[in-house]
Amino acid sequence: MEKQHSEDFLARPTPEQLAWQDKELGLFCHFGINTFCDQEWGEGKDSPKLFNPLQLDARQWVRTAKAAGFRYFILTAKHHDGFCLWPTSTTDYSVASSPWRNGSGDVVRECADACREEGIDFGIYLSPWDRHEPCYSDPQKYDDFYCRQLEELLTGYGPLVEIWFDGAGSEGREYDWRRIMDLVKQHQPGAMIFNMGAPTIRWVGNEDGLAPYPCWNTATTAKGSMFSEASLQWLPETPAWVPAECDVPIRKDRWFWHPNDEESLLSLDQLMDIYYRSVGHGATLLLNVSPDNRGLLPEADVKRLLEFGEGIRRRFDHPLTEASGSGHRIELELPVPALIDHVVLMEDIAYGERVRQYVLEAYADGEWKEIVHGIAIGHKKIDVVTPMFAEKIRLQITEAVANPIIRKFAIYGAQK
Ligand code: FUL
């Protein structure tokens, strides 16, 4: 039963982390010079003249995100090739040197505006590794350059929900993280900081969109990239509460768009599996889409995203019954005996993660039967239950480090 720990030992999220964890679904968007070169990692030598998305419509990207139930949107303002999607003053390797809108366009602005209009949060990815910028080889000069780029983005595009620092290509390289963190704190104090410096959220450690179970919200370290097993050195001021984000592209292993590549689009079943193993394990899912060389999300990807949103809504929008409460046992009686197929549990993580073991039991034909045994709940745990008729469901928390506070205990049976 309850261990004799004081609650004071429990790590807790900041209000910003709490709000971010409630978003659960983010859409990642990889778009840039690679989109026009059939490649994933440009070397920074492709001419800006190649960048010409004649039908670019960021509203189509963001409207799709919103309609599919995503609550934030993150754009690659600069990927490893160094090409900037905004007219930066730091380099001429940007949209300003492209034929697109005669060099007067700004993809970051279009996305920021579209997010504001649609009412979803906007964030940016700014690759530290830069294969174009000549001063990259001089760490001090490059820190200055990178900070200027970051400052333009932090100050020019309204509130940002998240800054995505990618470790790829930077294995073994030191950046001035304290200075970078200070900039974020100064200009966007509410933004989540992904995985580097003094992060407020961490990388789950793979690019498959999968969180382990349990996926505790506390961590003192995380992997920095797919290309090294080494853990990152985080600054000592990193909070103890660092929830995980699971990134994965909707086209298998493809972050950018490639021609004639529709067979790599994940199926709805694959996406639902990812959902169960990311959001369903208490983490946040960041699903990547790739606008094509017209500047539009391909129709097939739009359709799949909408199907995915619909799949989530169909399963979880209408509980048969639900409750909340504190203590070690909650019993729920179904209004009428019904077929159940999912149970959703949430702790009120504002008070920390308290549950260490739980059991779900179903009452049918005059007896209680154990249907699930779990070891963590955290922000959310989705249990998929072999469909069965039940009259009542009981949650028993058999081990906790402080009095459990259950924000949601909901039963579903909507599968058709
Ligand atoms: C990786 C990068 O190398 C990929 O190109 C992509 O940006 C992914 C999100 O992160 O580390």
Q: Are residues 351 and 292 in the same domain?
A: no
Quick: pLDDT tens for 188-232.
999 999 999 999 999 999 999 999 999 999 999 999 999 999 999
307 and 326 fall within a common domain: no
**What pLDDT, on the 0 to 100 scale, is given for residue 1?**
44
C-alpha distances out from residue 294 to 75, 291, 297, 358, Å: 17, 8, 9, 51
pLDDT at 22: 98
Q: What is the CATH number of the domain that holds 79?
A: 3.20.20.80
Candidate from 29, 130, 166, 206 with most ligand 1 atoms within 8 A of CB, to mutate? 166
Distances (CA, A) of 358 to 373, 396, 399: 6, 6, 7
295 shares its domain with 363: no
Q: 2 in a domain, yes or no?
A: no
pLDDT at 414: 66
Same domain for 85 and 223: yes
C-alpha 172 – ligand 1 centre gap (Å): 17
Q: CA separation (Å) from 116 to 25, 53, 79, 218?
A: 17, 22, 23, 32
Domain boundary among 283, 316, 349: 316
Residue with tokens 């300003």: 96
Give the pLDDT of residue 7: 74
Q: Of the residues 316, 343, 377, which one is the last residue of a structural domain?
A: 316
- Ligand 1 centre distance from Cα of residue 166 (Å): 7
Q: Alpha carbon 122 to chain centroid distance? A: 12
Residues 293 and 344 reside in one and the same domain: no
Closest to 13 (Cα-Cα) out of 379, 356, 392:
379
Q: Looking at the 3D structure of the chain, how many domains does it have?
A: 2
Look up tokens 């990134």; give the residue.
247
For residues 240 and 275, membership in a common domain is answered with yes
- Of 291, 227, 319, whose CA–CA distance to 73 is shortest? 291
- Which amino acid, 115? C
CATH number for 375: 2.60.120.260
Name the stretches of the chain with pLDDT < 50. Answer: 1-5, 416
DSSP 205: S
Against a cut of 0.95, is the pTM above it? yes
Domain span at 138: 7-316
Separation of 327 CA from ligand 1 center, angstroms?
A: 43
Q: 3-class DSSP state for residue 74?
A: strand
Computed on alpha carbons and rounded to an integer, the radius of gyration of the chain in Å comes to 23
Residue 305 domain flag: yes
Do 273 and 352 sit in the same domain of this protein? no
Q: Which atom of ligand 1 is nearest to the CA of 225?
A: 11
